[in-house]
Structure 1
Amino acid sequence: MRKAIGIFLLLALLSACKNDGQGGDANQIVPNFRDIKIQYPETYRDTAVVDDYFGQKVADPYRWLEDDNSEQTSRWVQTQQSLTENYFKNIPYREAIRNRLSALWNYERYSAPMKRGDYYYIFKNDGLQNQDVLYRMASLEGPMEPVLNPNNFSTDGTVALGEYSFSADGSLLAYQASEAGSDWRTIYIKDLSSGGMLKDTVRWVKFSGISWFRDGFFYSRYPVPKEGEALAGKNEFHQVFYHRVGTSQEEDDIVYADRLHPLRNAAAEVTDDEHFLILSTSESTSGNALYFRDLRTNTPYFTPVVETFDYDFTVAGSDDNGIYVLTNYKAPNRRLIRISTRQPDVRYWQEIIPEAKDVLQEAHLFGGKLVAHYLHDAYSQAKVFSLEGKEEQILELPGIGTILNFSGKADSPELFYEFTSLVQPATIYRSDLQTKKQSVYKKPEISFDGDAYVVKQIQYKSYDGAMIPMFIVHRKGLKLDGTNPTLLYGYGGFDIPVLPIFNRTRYMLFPVVLENGGVCAVANIRGGGEFGKAWHDAGTKHQKQNVFDDFQAAAEYLIVNKYTSPQKLAIHGASNGGLLVGACLTQRPDLYAVALPAVGVLDMLR
């Protein structure tokens, strides 16, 4: 479905934008552009539907469309569908775009390797597989043996792999499977020595990881829903359990349950040294409480570290000196602290890596070092610190891009990570934290020449004077005369940074737009997580209009600086980005020729 939506957007963009002969590259699709006339059908407006919000009257003339079971709504949908299909049928280069997209994304892709037990494990996708396949190798250059193929979970491809975790010795793999996109998961266990499946089945798991300890693992789930309420029922009383391998789920031990707060979520994680069980509880997508339990004793009780939900606390690792925690407590851009398990009160917290101007995105304890991933102007930088916070190394990166998926162990200096940019798919690097040397482990081969394009970052002024960064990509030597088809992407929400990556979901269309002489842009608008808590807060609640203003100002920048024109500009966003695109299209329809508010929440009042 995502791919189909992307093709529709690309067709609409190229159809709305005349090709003035500048050309692209060898893979350019040269369309025979022509105007396609459409007669948009009349849509009934019920002027009698008006809501009163505290004295403010708001008309809702299309309320009747909310009844998805009515014949009137069904006819309207069919008419819209017919109009859309007929429009795209009249575009002669539709199949050429589909074929080019398939060719672009048909390349071998790998994840960063993980060392577990005697093997390295790595995910691989042959190119167009729906899900990546897990392999193992005795050495980094050794032959790859398939271990788990999620594409075989079901005949129709509707069962997907979720979270997974290896036992400490690497002999067992526990993994979650999800059916038809549901958040409900079932945990299964595979014996990696024999290749067989164990009988253990753990059901009704939701919003949970898997964390091994000795002969079992911790996980979170809700009580079994009532008959017929699995999908529609309310989720309440999230609990943490411990499952022992070889036993039935009915025998699982309850580790944590809150009977007073039904809407709180709980997650448990064992530290790498198996010394502590970390418990995190939360009430929303931001802010969490933190507790720990000493697994080397028989105590069933958790020691509180933080019992409020005002700040975020994420465990980065632990050693004999304490637990290393990434937090925005007294540090909007985050810092790393060490908490003594003997004196966990805030008075005794030690600051190891202080807050910096750049956002500390994540931190890990690998090989007796602290690896810190920063966002500098919305792209990645990485540094290595001693356990006392002394900076020892800056990881050398090939340019403006994003680090993905650090992989390492607390007791090994071997570190893997993926690096990608807007024009380069993820390359896997191997780094030795002791020798400070690093090398390319795997680099994908793709039929897209990233070197033919320039990636630049500019700053533009929003309506209130705030300076907003934006990545712009186009073919080297492209003439900026306002005639270039341009695709602008944005999100702006939930403290999530929009990063420069080669992504076949979020930026699936970028390569084809670029190859056809177009421009692609990513605006790092407020509401996201690119610059810490203040940046996020400036795009929330009563400040939400800032998000829309920032995006509209990005469009105006591209137009004023001759990258494109309103007749040749398309905007795209999904989820919260769909809301963004819908709002901007409503407020400033004069700025864009094409808009795709994918899966957006578009009626915030209802």
Structure 2
Amino acid sequence: MNGIRLATLFALSAAALTTSCKSNQMKIERLPYPETPRGEVVDNYFGTEVADPYRWLEDDNSEATAAWVEAENAVTQDYLRQIPYRDAIRERLTELWNYPKQGSLSRHGDYYYYFYNDGLQNQSVLYRTGDPAAEGEVFLDPNSLSDDGTVALADLSFSEDGRYLAYAAAASGSDWVEIRVMDTRTGELTQDRINWVKFSGAIWAPDSEGFYYSAYDAPEKGVFSSQNQFQKVYYHKLGTKQEADRLVYRDDAHPLRYNNAWPSEDGRWLFVIASEGTSGTEILYRPASGGRFSVLLAGFAHDYAPVDCINDQLYVMTNDGASNYRLARIDLNAPAGLQDVIAENAENLLTDVSPAGGYLMATYLEDAQSKVYQYNYDGTLVREVELPAIGTAGGFGAKREATDLYYVLSNFTSPATVYNYDLETGRSFLYKAPQVNFDPDRFVTEQVFYTSKDGTQVPMFIVHRKDLKLDGKNPCYLYAYGGFQINLTPGFNPSAILLAEQGGIYCVANLRGGSEYGEQWHRDGMLDKKQNVFDDFIAAAEYLIEKKYTSSEKLAIAGGSNGGLLVGACEVQRPDLYAVCLPAVGVLDMLRYHKFTIGWGWAVEYGTSENEEQFDYIYKYSPLHNIREGVSYPATLVTTADHDDRVVPAHSFKFAAALQHAQGGDAPILIRIESKAGHGAGKPTSKRIDEAADTYAFLFWNTDTKYKPVRK
């Protein structure tokens, strides 16, 4: 790139290209794409030569990349601002977003704490109250941590006695966090400050005098792109500097592992949960007083998640011998194997077990919807919790001495509603219900089951107006994820309501790769079986078209992160099937993903190009490497962010450049690159609304859908 004048290289031509999805719409004058030089880089993978012409876009610190980003954003924003109803969509999304949002309450010391957002605050605020019936007071406002709402809370934890709060703050969406400590008596920050922490918060020791955390060495360069290695566990004593923190655990033999501490509540034991990726764990243990760590439950073929430790008995949730998970215990003084406490449910997935008031609260998924049961510690069933509505429930944890707890319940047409649950009687009482700016009774949610390519039955939620006509003329937004044991359950999204108001359809498919139906469902969508996930998604699209919910001219597919990979792969495999593709922060270069930040942790899910057998099947579906010149690809809006240090933006840069180069049709290929934002967590409300407005304006325009103002 040396010697090339950037102003010339990336200048936009004065000539404009005319694009329109249908002849009855006004024309949009799209600016030409920036000239993106194609380099000569070629890699050899086990005898297969693979060109990587846009390797230079991986350098996010170069002037050339910065100029390209600026030029691409200019093309995208010029296109979007010509869509006549873009502002109207943003206005309606703002109205739908603007309702009071309250989280569940949890007690620490003498106070109940909860998050609250008055409607459009960029970050929700932490409140507290001594009486749940009384109005709370602001305790910690993350909006005060930055001028533009781009600093967010990634984690928070209270000391056992409730005197201290440790919070982890992330700037601009980065995975890097800084841990700070507040004295809850005064509300003032202490002098404690911990840096270079990633995928960890503060885990308090039972004596409340300090906490454990996991950190990396400070990166020498490439803070947002360099590979992270050797995560170590430290203990921090309150009132001391980070440099004095005690190293608790390190594993010099395995640089690519995560390690996190977990102390028993009684102060007798200290555990380290280790993992080599996004699934599969190992548990090590030792007396809290000191000594060497020993392996208690060996990794990494199964998952083990500690739940509680009482009388030297460790309770763990595991899929060891149980695809749908079970709760088991092991004697720490004589560890001879796991014994069942709550046996595996052959039909439904166990997703969580939380201690509460001397009970164990177990949450299951039944066809991707929550079921909750209350157990004694010996595994006897107390009762099924009668949930007030169908949906997704969470928050069933509380202190050992608690007599009640607060949980939240939501679904596609109802935002999070807070209920109080009496642990002795099993009764739920409405605590706080949100007031929203739409009529929920106008909409309905269906759950259907469709057949994938290999005959597997796959569930899908479909949200629409009750007066929907199955005539194939409805715009449709089909979303999925399909990986990493992530379950997609009913949850509220203002954008879904906006689409349904306009006669559109919002769909969520529960593809293999998640664990909605247990670990086997996950394994059937990973490694050499990853193509099953794409087949499931393609089959969902075909079902919606066959049943006349929509048509190829009206269908948009969307997904983020691993879901961005899903969209990219399905776009290049079946470009004829959709009108619009919306890959967000996607893993799109499958041959090099593991070389950046913590990408190595996904190898257990995908495999890597460094293994010959795995290279063979990864290369066949890698979105970047299966783009073909001259093919007519759907209208595509790629979205990413400059501070994404989970899936680095180079994935999206290279994919967009390659699609623009190869496009054989008239549909636009655009990329929207957000500034001061990351992978998605903690994104300010204002940025979420702006991105959603641009996405749906692009969808409506390229499906020939007219936006109609909503009658108040």
Shorter chain as denominator, the TM-score bin is: 0.7 to 0.9
1:237, 1:49 → 2: CA distance?
31
* Distance 1:201-1:399 versus aligned 2 partners, 3 A rule: same
SS at match of 1:550: helix
Please state how far the C-alpha of 1:150 moved relative to its aligned partner: 1.0
Amino acid at match of 2:166: A
Please state how far the C-alpha of 1:414 moved relative to its aligned partner: 1.2
Decide which moves more: 280-289 or 546-555: 280-289
Decide which moves more: 65-74 or 401-410: 65-74
Q: Does 1:350 align with 2:339?
A: yes
* Distance 1:188-1:381 versus aligned 2 partners, 3 A rule: same
Q: Does 1:306 align with 2:297?
A: yes
Tell me what 1:255 maps to: 248
Q: Does 1:184 align with 2:170?
A: no
Count of residue correspondences? 570
2:28, 2:216 → 1: CA distance?
56
Which aligned pairs between 1:61-460 and structure 2 lie closer than 5 A?
80-213=72-205, 214-222=207-215, 224-225=217-218, 227-228=220-221, 230-231=223-224, 233-295=226-288, 298-320=289-311, 322-346=313-337, 349-356=338-345, 357-460=347-450
Please state how far the C-alpha of 1:403 moved relative to its aligned partner: 1.4
2:238, 2:433 → 1: CA distance?
39
Q: Which of 548, 552, 575 lines up with 1:562 in the alignment?
A: 548
Please state how far the C-alpha of 1:53 moved relative to its aligned partner: 4.4
Amino acid at match of 1:133: V
Amino acid at match of 1:200: D
Please state how far the C-alpha of 1:49 moved relative to its aligned partner: 7.3
Gaps of 5+ in 1: 1-14, 19-32
Q: Deviations over 1:313-346 (max 9, x none)?
A: 1111122261211001111111000112222221
Tell me what 2:16 maps to: none
2:30, 2:159 → 1: CA distance?
62
Q: Is the 8 A contact 1:270 1:278 kept in 2?
A: yes
Tell me what 1:36 maps to: 27
Please state how far the C-alpha of 1:361 moved relative to its aligned partner: 0.5
* Distance 1:51-1:178 versus aligned 2 partners, 3 A rule: closer
Q: Is the 8 A contact 1:16 1:594 kept in 2?
A: no
1:77, 1:583 → 2: CA distance?
23
* Distance 1:459-1:125 versus aligned 2 partners, 3 A rule: same
Amino acid at match of 2:344: E
Please state how far the C-alpha of 1:66 moved relative to its aligned partner: 6.1
Q: Is the 8 A contact 1:222 1:235 kept in 2?
A: no
Structure with more relative contact order (C-alpha pairs < 8 Å, separation 6 or more): 2
Please state how far the C-alpha of 1:383 moved relative to its aligned partner: 1.0
Tell me what 1:548 maps to: 534
Tell me what 1:25 maps to: none
SS at match of 1:392: strand
Please state how far the C-alpha of 1:517 moved relative to its aligned partner: 0.9
1:292, 1:502 → 2: CA distance?
40
1:61, 1:245 → 2: CA distance?
51
1:85, 1:154 → 2: CA distance?
26
Amino acid at match of 1:332: S
Q: Is the 8 A contact 1:222 1:236 kept in 2?
A: no
Please state how far the C-alpha of 1:153 moved relative to its aligned partner: 1.2
Q: Deviations over 1:133-165 (max 9, x none)?
A: 111111111121111111111234333222211
Q: Is the 8 A contact 1:36 1:87 kept in 2?
A: no
Tell me what 1:502 maps to: 492
1:232, 1:463 → 2: CA distance?
38
2:218, 2:29 → 1: CA distance?
49
Tell me what 1:7 maps to: none
Q: Deviations over 1:13-39 (max 9, x none)?
A: xx9699xxxxxxxxxxxxxx7253556
2:492, 2:129 → 1: CA distance?
27
Decide which moves more: 51-60 or 326-335: 51-60
Tell me what 2:498 maps to: 512
Please state how far the C-alpha of 1:423 moved relative to its aligned partner: 0.9
Please state how far the C-alpha of 1:81 moved relative to its aligned partner: 4.2
Decide which moves more: 324-333 or 43-52: 43-52
Q: Is the 8 A contact 2:323 2:520 kept in 1?
A: yes
2:562, 2:216 → 1: CA distance?
30
Tell me what 1:462 maps to: 452
Q: Which of 566, 571, 574 lines up with 1:588 in the alignment?
A: 574
Tell me what 2:468 maps to: 478
Amino acid at match of 2:244: E
Please state how far the C-alpha of 1:577 moved relative to its aligned partner: 0.8
Which aligned pairs between 1:511-530 and structure 2 lie closer than 5 A?
511-530=497-516
Please state how far the C-alpha of 1:277 moved relative to its aligned partner: 2.5
Please state how far the C-alpha of 1:132 moved relative to its aligned partner: 1.3
> TM-score scaled to structure 2, two decimals?
0.75
Please state how far the C-alpha of 1:602 moved relative to its aligned partner: 1.9
Which aligned pairs between 1:11-30 and structure 2 lie closer than 5 A?
none
SS at match of 1:263: coil
SS at match of 1:591: coil
Please state how far the C-alpha of 1:366 moved relative to its aligned partner: 1.1
2:299, 2:68 → 1: CA distance?
49
Please state how far the C-alpha of 1:87 moved relative to its aligned partner: 3.2
* Distance 1:587-1:231 versus aligned 2 partners, 3 A rule: closer
1:491, 1:234 → 2: CA distance?
25
1:479, 1:231 → 2: CA distance?
48
1:376, 1:62 → 2: CA distance?
45
Q: Is the 8 A contact 1:218 1:269 kept in 2?
A: no
1:603, 1:429 → 2: CA distance?
44
Tell me what 1:3 maps to: none
2:218, 2:128 → 1: CA distance?
38
Decide which moves more: 555-564 or 49-58: 49-58
Q: Is the 8 A contact 1:575 1:598 kept in 2?
A: yes
* Distance 1:339-1:40 versus aligned 2 partners, 3 A rule: same
Amino acid at match of 1:518: G
2:85, 2:201 → 1: CA distance?
45
* Distance 1:201-1:595 versus aligned 2 partners, 3 A rule: same
Q: Deviations over 1:185-227 (max 9, x none)?
A: 2221111112222122222222223122214233233354265
Amino acid at match of 2:380: K
Decide which moves more: 115-124 or 58-67: 58-67
Q: Is the 8 A contact 2:167 2:201 kept in 1?
A: no
* Distance 1:554-1:145 versus aligned 2 partners, 3 A rule: same
* Distance 1:16-1:411 versus aligned 2 partners, 3 A rule: farther
Q: Is the 8 A contact 1:369 1:387 kept in 2?
A: yes
2:170, 2:444 → 1: CA distance?
40
* Distance 1:591-1:47 versus aligned 2 partners, 3 A rule: farther
Gaps of 5+ in 2: 1-19, 593-712
RMSD over aligned Cα, in angstroms? 2.7
2:326, 2:168 → 1: CA distance?
32
Q: Is the 8 A contact 2:176 2:197 kept in 1?
A: yes
SS at match of 2:344: coil
Amino acid at match of 1:264: R
